[in-house]
Structures are given as structure tokens and as C-alpha cells.
């Protein structure tokens, strides 16, 4: 695999990893903007804008966009996160020119008012869909409780109210400010020719406006402490989400954080699995590491019967105390590293996997990370590195939010002091 | 594109299939054991699910922890799942670790410990799995749809019932294991950077001594009621629609699959365009083709806020019926492009290929070559698809809705 990079005069960046034996090519337009870049008044605009990008341009209607993608058999989609909006497609190599033509065109959308008004309903439908999924709701509220007022806690979808209130011109203003060339990277991986690619991207995107989008408030946060109970009587399982500070996306402790999260809470053979899932005390219990620009979080999430929730809170706390005090064993370290290495290799076998990986590495590090670079970085994690990680990010106490039928739940070690559903963060 | 698909039948009825993929470092394995939930005794619904969990809790010389650790240490990403006909064991890792993985799976399938003291935790997990469906309304509506549309026991959901799970004992689970975990009709497929001869020899060594038992004949009974509404206070109403199509072995299969793709193959397809893009009625709306042995059906789904649910149902049914009135050449061009892309890109994934090999063998008794599928895709025309729809028009819908209020459904 050969890596190339280029910057156009207007600041747009292009990166590519050529893999001549691949059967497809994947292309992504990474826009460095997300929920954290919104002010409260336009909550949800980034995600709504992501939808509107597919709704047409001066030379394409929404139906034209969809037809043109389907005509080339593209596998395509987009996503919006706290800090990135990514538009991507996987196609057979001979269709790369057409895919680029469509993607570059739609990244300058018309944002027509009729389309805006109809698509508003689709966003509200999406919000409704997630409202009916308690685990998602628990996670979203927990994230807000942990991070806010830090902008990473901003809601990605917004609310039905904030979306209804949104005006087309507000979206257009946001687009003009944020979708500028220096804030966008075109990422390609798989079977393609670099020089041809650069020529095509240059033809399509050289006219895009330059400008500085920037980002406010990239400080690290250690998170807001708290133990919150959200009662929803009709929900069946009790969902418990816990968060704590963790390294940021460019930290040299990020690989150790991944390894630690895997050892604590991967879905097989982890501490949480043995402590809660294997004995049937929870139907799911896992740990993860989410990293962002400037800050990061560890997350533990548990789903269980309401009657078991209090004991599970104690079990998780004991488990985490043990990790904080004595770290993980050499055997657990090896096990986690072996699992991660296998996933990296398999993930690299599809151009779409490589495109997402190199795109994210470029976004957060400004660097190319080959498969071997990543394998080496994980291989280099030792118990000492994990120890250093735990010293800087001690995990406990975790900010907790529980959502389910329970009206009260006590924080660990405080069996007399149950918390009621009063302290619900807005 | 020439890929070599290799097969070897063991004398005890087990079939080994393999596809060598040179451009990857990984390999995937896929066992289909004819021990699906259609074989659950009627008084013990949920047996196969409980067995699928129990079977990984220790095998051969390894207790539960050692088994997990050894599989993790060879980097095997894996899962077990129960379907109507089969219990499936799937795993993928670096190709160099595949022989070790197969040795461990031979223990799991042939010498599981099924430790009696683990039955209560496994039952507790099975209960919660069933209960948590109440928090997943889309899943729930699709399960209820299958239960009503397909003949029983083919329409069963693997999760079973509260009474069924409660009734299970270690002895019942072990009986089910002994009766149904055997080689006759078991398929092992492997895809990735493997060498055929050593693989075949290893599989012979590991599985040749496995004693077969005659397969059990299951007589399906017709499905239950056509329309039901499940009441629940939710923000969205869930809508599930099913109708009969043809099975995968039928000569009309590609036309049937293409018809579904005209409805739902990409974002320019009919359902997405009419229900979501033009009217903004849904976030999620789709149709998919589902095959069981000897049966094929189309399942449709839409989730929509309660006030708009009637319109969503009416528009969706309208689109299903409208299909047979005519299909544009351009629509079929787009369907062909999507199918061709998917066919080629599947070659990138060892687990996708392993899955396809086994599925083809089970439904067709052979593995279709890339060229054969490519030719069938190229042969699709609007006339062929419409003519199929005249033979099998979307009708006699099974409709399941879930939400605060029932909807008007066609008689």
C-alpha cells in the first residue's frame, strides 16, 4: 500500500492509500464540523445539514443524486458525530470519476426551502425512532451529564423543538462558515491511481472557498461528577451508563486506553463479561474508549433487570477499584492485544475500512498511519504504559446515569443514600 | 474472476466447503449445525438458544475460562447464533490461526462440557434477552411478523417463551445436544488464505469419527392470523408487512430479488423515494427478501410517528401493489449495478464468503460460481421482473403494527 498527500491552493487536503489488488475503491469527504461546533440555538444543524447535502444542488435534484449513486452501484452513506461530518462511498474502481463528481457536487448543496421543510419531518422521525430506544436515550443523556458544559456533550440530533425552529438561512450560514476547503479532507483508499485522483479533485474542488473554520474550546475536560436517576416506568430493562475522563485522540496513551477498555469490558473474556454477563446478572455489560479532539472518555454500560441493578452497581465499582489499584494482569494484556491485532488486520482488508481509518488518523493527528504502524503501536503497550494511563486517568469515580423503571438507585458504597429521579440534567 | 471452490463430503454426512482467497491475511470459518429452533420441543421453546450459550462454557480439556482465553488469544472474533434450521458458529482471525480454531471448535461441537451449574445463569440471560425485546420495538414487530407470516415452526423466534426457558434443565439441554448436534447435514465452510489439502486432512481428522443421527422431519403448520396490532405507548408506530414470494431454488429467484431491489435496493428505489424523500413520513423504511428452505417471502418495515402511521401504511402498500404495473429500464439498470457491486465487493470479505458458501450449499446443494451469478444479473430485464410479479403479485399481506393505536388495514 502506497500513501500520498496533497494540499490544493484553497487549503483542501487530499490523502490516498493505493492498493492495486483491491477490488473496490472507497472515497470519503471528511468535514471537520460536528455538534460541538454548534451554538444552542441551532442544535442539530450539523446533522440536519448532512441530510440536506443529499437533497440536491444547482444541477441535481434529490432524486438525481440518489439515482446517480445507484446507477454506479455505490454503497454510500454519511454520518455526523460530535466533531466530524463524513460523506463516503464504496464503488468498483471504474466508477471513481462518477462518485467524485457526485460527492463534490453535493458538498455545495442548494438547500432548497421545499426540500428543507420536508426533510425536517425525516429528522423528527429519526429523533422519534431513537426516543423509543431506551439504551440510546440513556447513553445520550449520560454523555450530556458527563461533558456539559463542554461542547462534546452537545446533542447531535437536536430536539424536535430545536429542529422545528431551525430556519433554512441559519443552516446556510452554518454551511458557508464550516464547509470551507481548509476544513475538508478528501480521503481515498483501494484500487485507484493517485495522479488521476488529484486531477479530478482539483477540477471539482479548486473553486471552493478558502477561509478559516476553526474550533472553539478544545480544552480537556475531566467531566462533571454526578449520579443521576431517570425514571421511565414503561421501560423493561435498567440501563446504567458510567463515564470518566480518558486520553484525547492525539494522546500517546490512546492505544493503552483501547487495550484497557478491551480488558475491562470487551464482549468476550473481559472482567465485566465474567463478573456480570457470564453469571447472568446482566444481559450486556461493556466498556469502551471514545476519544475526541482535546478530550476523551471511558464508558461502561450495563443493561440488566431492575431488581439486579443495585448489586450490579456495587459489582462494577469493586471491579473498577481492583483495576485502579492493581491494574490488569500480563495475561489480560496479551489477550486484549491479540484481539485488537486480529481486528486491525481484518478491518484493513476492505478499502472502506482503510479509508475510514486513514481519514480519522489524518483528522486527529495530521499523519498517515499504516496498518503496520497501528499494529506496532498496540504491540508496544506494556503493563507500564497501562499503569501510566491509570495514574493520569484514574477512572473512578465514574459519572453515572441510569435510565429505566427504577425510581431510586444508590451510588456504590452508599447503601443508605439512594438517589431519586430528581437530578435530571437538561 | 476465477475463484476455486472446493468441497469434500465426509462419510458421516458432514460437508466441508472452502474458497481460497489469496489477497487477504485472514480466514473465516462457518459451521451450520442442523440444530435450529424448529427442533425445540413445544413445551421447551428456547432450548436451542440456551444450548448455544451452554455449549461454549467449557469443552474437552478446557473449562469455560480457558476456552474463552484460548480463542481470544488466537484473535478469533466470533459469535454463535440460532436460526430456524441451524445453530451457527462463526469466527474469523489470521489464517495462520485457523487450524487451532478448528481444533477448539471440534471440542465445542463434539465434546462440550455443558456444565449443570451454569444452567441458571444461562437461563437468566435467555429471560433478559426475551424481556429486552420490549425495549426494542422495531425488533419486536419484525419477530411478530415472522411468527404470523411463516408456517410454524419455521416462523418461530429463537428466544422462546418464559415458560419454555423456565422449564429447561441440564438434562433436557444435554438431550437436545445429543439428538441434534451431529454431522449429517452439518456444513463447515472456510474462506480466506488457506491451503486446501491440509485443511481437508485436518477436518477429516477432527470430525470423521463423529456419529451421525438421522435428521428429523418437521411438518409445518400454516401461519396464524394475518393482521394484529400490539398496543404500546411509543413515539413511533412500527409497521411490518410480509407477503409470499419464491424460494431461492426457484427459477424466478433472481427476478424476485430484483423486484425487491426495485422497491428497496438503494436510495433511489421506490419505497425510500415515495415514503421518505417525497413525503418525509419515515426515517427507516425498507423491503427485504427472506428465504427459508422451500419458501421465500418479502418483508417490509416502516417506523413512523403515530400521527402519520396510517398514511405511511397506505403509501407503502400502494407502492407494493403498483410494482406489477410496470418497471422502467433505468430502474433495472440501477438494480443490476447494485447487485454487481455487491457481488464483487463480497470477494473482499472472508466472513461474507464463508457465509455465502454455506448458505448456497444448504439451499441449493451446490455453490454458485461468480460467473453464474453475474450472468443471471446481466439477464435481468423489466419484462422478466414484471412477468414474475404477474405470477406472484404482492397480496394476502400479513400486517403487524405496534404503537398506541391500531391502523386500518386492507381486507
Q: Where are the domains of chain B?
A: 5-207, 227-403
B378 touches chain A (CB under 8 A): no
Please, which pLDDT band fits residue B222 given cuts at 50, 70 and 90?
A: confident
A76, A89 Cβ separation under 8 angstroms: yes
* From A291-300, B213-222, B305-314, B346-355, the region with the lowest mean pLDDT: B213-222
3-state SS class at A335: helix
Instruction: Determine the pLDDT at residue B13.
Output: 97
Chain A touched by B66 (CB under 8 Å): no
- Residue B1 has a pLDDT of 47
Q: Distance from CA of residue A185 to its chain's centroid? A: 17
Q: What is the rounded CA–CA span in Å between residue A136 and residue A153?
A: 14
Q: What is the pLDDT of residue A417?
A: 63
Phi-psi region of A305 (alpha: psi -120 to 50; beta: other; left: phi over 0): beta
Q: Do domains B5-207 and B227-403 have the same CATH topology?
A: yes
Compute the nearest-CA separation of A46 from chain B (Å).
Answer: 17
Minimum distance, in Å, between the CA of residue B11 and any CA atom of chain A: 34
Does the pTM surpass 0.90? The reply is yes
CA dist., res. A110 & res. A115, Å (int): 10
Pairing type for strands B87-94 and B26-33 reads: antiparallel
- Hey, what CATH topology would domain B227-403 get? Cytochrome Bc1 Complex; Chain A, domain 1 (3.30.830)
For the domain made up of A2-205, give the CATH fold: Cytochrome Bc1 Complex; Chain A, domain 1 (3.30.830)
Cα B59 vs. chain centroid, distance in angstroms? 26
CATH 3.30.830.10 fits A227-420, yes or no: yes
Cβ-Cβ contacts under 8 Å for A287 (sequence gap 6 or more) = A261, A262, A264, A265, A266, A270, A272, A298, A299, A300, A301
Check if A2-205 and A227-420 are the same fold: yes
Sheet containing B87-94, strands listed edge to edge, beginning at the edge strand earlier in sequence: B5-9, B15-20, B187-192, B26-33, B87-94, B77-82
Interface test with A, best of B267, B271, B328 (most A CBs within 10 A): B267
Mean pLDDT rounded to a whole number for chain B: 95
A13-18 vs A184-190, strand pairing mode? parallel
Give B143-193 pLDDT, tens digit per residue.
999 999 999 999 999 999 999 999 999 999 999 999 999 999 999 999 999
Nearest to B273 by CA among A166, A77, A54, A75: A54
Domain B5-207 of CATH type 3.40.50.300: no
B121 touches chain A (CB under 8 A): yes
Q: Which three cell numbers stand for residue B121?
A: 445463569
For residues B242 and B409, what is the distance between their CA atoms, to the nearest angstrom? 13
Per-residue pLDDT at A424: 44
Provide the Cα torsion B315, B154, B176, B171; round to 10°.
Answer: 60
Query: How far is the CA of A18 from the CAs of A133, A188, A286, A314, B43, in angstroms?
Result: 40, 8, 36, 50, 58
Q: How many CB pairs under 8 A join A and B?
A: 188
Collect the ranges in chain A with pLDDT lower than 70: 415-418, 421-426
Choice among A231-245, A406-420, B249-263, B333-347 with the minimum mean pLDDT: A406-420
Residue A414 has what pLDDT?
Answer: 73
* Alpha-carbon gap: B381 to the closest alpha carbon of chain A (Å): 15
Whether pLDDT at B411 is above 80? no
Reading the block at residue A352, the C-alpha cell is 472502506
Residue B41: closest CA among B136, B179, B207, B242: B179
- DSSP codes joined into one string, B308-357: GHHHHHHHHHHHHHHGGG---HHHHHHHHHHHHHHHHHGGG-HHHHHHHH
A342 with B65: Cβ contact below 8 A = no
- The distance of B304 to chain A (nearest Cα, Å) reads 6
Q: Do A66 and B23 touch (CB under 8 A)?
A: no
Interface touch A303/B334, C-beta < 8 Å: no
Q: How far apart are CA A291 and CA B106, in angstroms?
A: 40
- Supply the pLDDT for residue B20: 96
- In this prediction, residue A423 carries a pLDDT of 45
Are A374 and A344 a contacting pair, CB within 8 Å?
yes
Q: How confident is the model at residue B410 (pLDDT cuts 50, 70, 90)?
A: confident
Q: What is the mean pLDDT of residues B54-83?
A: 97
Mutation for testing the A interface, residue in B128, B274, B344 having most A CBs under 10 Å: B128
pLDDT over threshold 90, residue B278: yes
Closest Cβ–Cβ partner in A118, A282, A345 for B25? A345
Number of H helices, E strands in chain B: 15, 11
How do beta strands B227-231 and B398-403 pair? parallel
Amino acid at each position: 500500500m502506497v500513501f500520498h498527500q496533497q494540499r490544493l491552493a484553497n487549503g483542501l487536503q487530499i490523502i490516498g492509500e493505493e492498493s492495486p489488488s483491491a477490488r473496490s475503491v472507497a472515497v470519503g469527504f471528511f468535514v471537520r464540523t460536528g455538534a460541538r461546533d454548534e451554538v444552542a440555538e441551532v442544535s442539530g444543524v450539523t446533522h440536519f445539514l448532512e441530510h440536506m447535502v443529499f437533497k440536491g444542488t444547482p444541477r441535481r435534484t434529490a432524486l438525481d443524486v440518489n439515482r446517480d449513486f445507484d446507477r454506479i452501484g455505490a454503497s454510500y452513506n454519511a454520518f455526523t458525530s460530535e466533531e466530524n461530518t463524513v460523506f463516503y462511498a464504496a464503488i468498483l474502481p471504474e466508477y471513481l470519476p462518477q462518485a467524485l463528481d457526485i460527492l463534490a457536487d453535493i458538498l455545495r448543496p442548494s438547500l432548497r426551502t421545499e426540500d428543507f421543510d420536508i426533510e425536517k419531518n425525516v429528522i423528527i422521525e429519526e429523533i422519534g425512532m431513537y426516543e423509543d430506544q431506551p439504551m440510546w436515550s440513556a447513553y445520550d443523556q449520560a454523555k450530556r451529564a458527563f461533558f456539559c458544559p463542554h461542547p462534546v456533550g452537545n446533542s447531535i440530533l437536536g430536539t424536535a423543538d430545536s429542529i422545528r425552529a431551525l430556519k433554512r438561512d441559519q443552516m446556510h450560514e452554518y454551511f458557508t462558515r464550516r464547509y470551507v476547503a481548509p476544513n475538508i479532507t478528501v480521503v481515498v483508499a483501494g484500487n485507484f491511481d493517485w495522479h488521476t485522483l488529484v486531477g479530478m479533485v482539483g477540477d471539482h474542488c479548486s473553486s471552493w472557498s478558502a477561509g478559516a473554520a476553526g474550533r472553539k474550546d478544545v480544552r480537556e475536560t475531566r467531566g462533571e461528577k454526578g449520579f443521576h436517576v431517570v425514571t421511565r416506568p414503561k421501560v423493561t430493562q435498567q440501563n446504567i451508563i458510567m463515564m470518566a475522563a480518558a486520553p484525547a485522540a492525539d494522546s500517546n496513551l490512546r492505544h493503552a486506553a483501547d487495550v484497557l477498555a478491551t480488558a475491562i469490558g470487551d464482549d468476550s473474556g473481559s472482567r465485566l463479561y465474567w463478573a456480570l454477563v457470564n453469571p447472568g446478572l446482566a444481559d450486556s455489560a461493556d466498556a469502551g474508549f471514545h476519544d475526541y479532539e482535546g478530550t476523551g472518555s471511558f464508558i461502561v454500560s450495563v443493561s440488566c433487570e431492575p431488581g439486579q441493578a443495585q448489586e450490579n452497581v456495587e459489582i462494577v465499582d469493586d471491579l473498577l477499584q481492583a483495576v485502579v489499584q492493581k491494574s490488569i494482569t500480563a495475561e489480560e494484556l496479551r489477550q486484549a492485544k491479540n484481539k485488537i491485532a486480529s481486528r486491525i488486520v481484518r478491518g484493513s482488508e476492505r478499502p472502506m475500512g482503510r479509508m475510514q481509518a486513514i481519514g480519522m488518523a489524518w483528522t486527529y493527528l495530521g499523519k498517515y498511519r499504516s496498518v503496520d504502524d497501528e499494529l506496532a503501536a498496540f504491540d508496544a503497550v506494556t503493563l507500564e504504559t497501562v499503569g501510566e494511563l491509570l495514574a493520569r486517568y484514574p477512572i473512578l469515580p465514574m459519572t453515572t446515569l441510569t435510565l429505566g423503571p427504577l425510581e431510586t438507585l444508590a451510588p456504590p458504597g452508599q447503601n443508605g443514600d439512594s438517589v431519586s429521579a430528581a437530578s435530571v440534567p437538561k | 474472476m476465477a475463484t476455486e471452490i472446493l468441497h469434500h463430503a465426509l462419510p458421516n454426512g458432514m460437508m466441508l466447503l472452502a474458497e481460497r482467497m489469496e489477497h487477504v491475511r485472514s480466514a473465516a470459518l462457518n459451521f451450520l449445525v442442523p440444530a435450529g429452533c424448529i427442533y425445540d420441543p413445544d413445551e421447551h421453546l428456547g432450548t436451542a438458544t440456551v444450548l448455544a450459550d451452554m455449549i461454549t462454557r467449557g469443552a474437552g480439556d478446557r473449562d469455560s475460562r480457558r476456552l474463552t482465553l484460548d480463542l481470544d488469544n488466537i484473535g478469533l472474533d466470533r459469535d454463535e447464533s440460532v436460526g430456524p434450521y441451524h445453530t451457527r458458529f462463526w469466527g474469523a482471525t489470521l489464517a495462520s490461526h485457523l487450524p487451532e480454531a478448528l481444533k477448539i471448535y471440534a471440542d465445542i461441537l463434539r465434546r462440550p462440557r455443558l456444565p449443570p451449574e451454569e444452567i441458571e445463569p444461562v437461563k437468566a440471560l435467555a429471560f433478559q434477552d426475551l424481556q429486552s425485546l420490549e425495549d426494542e420495538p422495531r425488533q419486536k414487530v419484525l419477530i411478530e411478523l415472522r411468527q404470523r407470516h411463516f408456517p410454524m415452526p419455521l416462523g418461530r423466534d429463537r428466544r422462546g417463551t418464559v415458560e419454555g426457558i423456565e422449564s429447561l434443565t441440564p438434562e433436557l439441554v444435554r438431550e437436545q445436544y445429543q439428538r441434534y448436534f451431529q454431522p449429517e447435514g452439518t456444513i463447515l465452510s472456510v474462506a480466506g488464505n488457506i491451503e486446501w489439502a491440509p485443511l481437508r486432512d485436518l477436518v477429516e481428522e477432527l470430525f470423521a469419527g463423529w456419529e451421525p443421527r438421522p435428521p428429523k422431519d418437521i411438518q409445518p403448520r400454516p401461519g396464524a392470523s394475518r393482521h394484529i396490532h400490539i398496543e404500546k405507548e411509543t413515539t413511533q408506530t412500527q409497521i411490518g408487512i410480509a407477503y409470499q414470494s419464491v424460494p431461492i431454488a426457484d427459477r424466478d429467484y433472481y427476478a424476485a430479488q430484483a423486484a425487491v431491489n426495485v422497491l428497496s435496493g438503494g436510495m433511489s428505489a421506490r419505497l425510500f423515494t415515495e415514503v421518505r424523500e417525497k413525503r418525509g413520513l419515515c426515517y427507516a423504511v425498507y423491503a427485504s427478501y427472506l428465504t427459508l428452505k422451500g419458501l421465500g417471502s418479502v418483508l417490509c418495515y416502516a417506523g413512523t410517528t403515530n400521527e402519520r402511521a396510517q398514511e405511511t401504511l397506505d403509501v407503502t402498500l400502494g407502492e407494493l401493489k403498483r410494482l406489477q404495473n410496470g418497471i422502467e429500464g433505468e430502474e433495472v439498470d440501477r438494480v443490476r449495478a447494485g447487485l454487481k457491486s455487491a457481488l464483487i465487493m463480497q470477494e473482499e470479505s472472508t466472513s461474507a464468503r464463508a457465509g455465502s458458501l454455506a448458505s448456497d450449499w444448504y439451499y441449493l446443494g451446490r455453490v454458485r460460481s461468480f460467473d453464474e451469478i453475474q450472468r443471471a444479473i446481466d439477464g435481468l430485464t423489466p419484462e422478466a421482473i414484471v412477468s414474475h410479479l404477474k405470477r406472484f403479485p404482492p397480496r394476502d399481506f400479513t400486517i403487524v403494527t405496534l404503537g398506541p393505536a391500531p391502523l386500518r388495514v386492507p381486507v
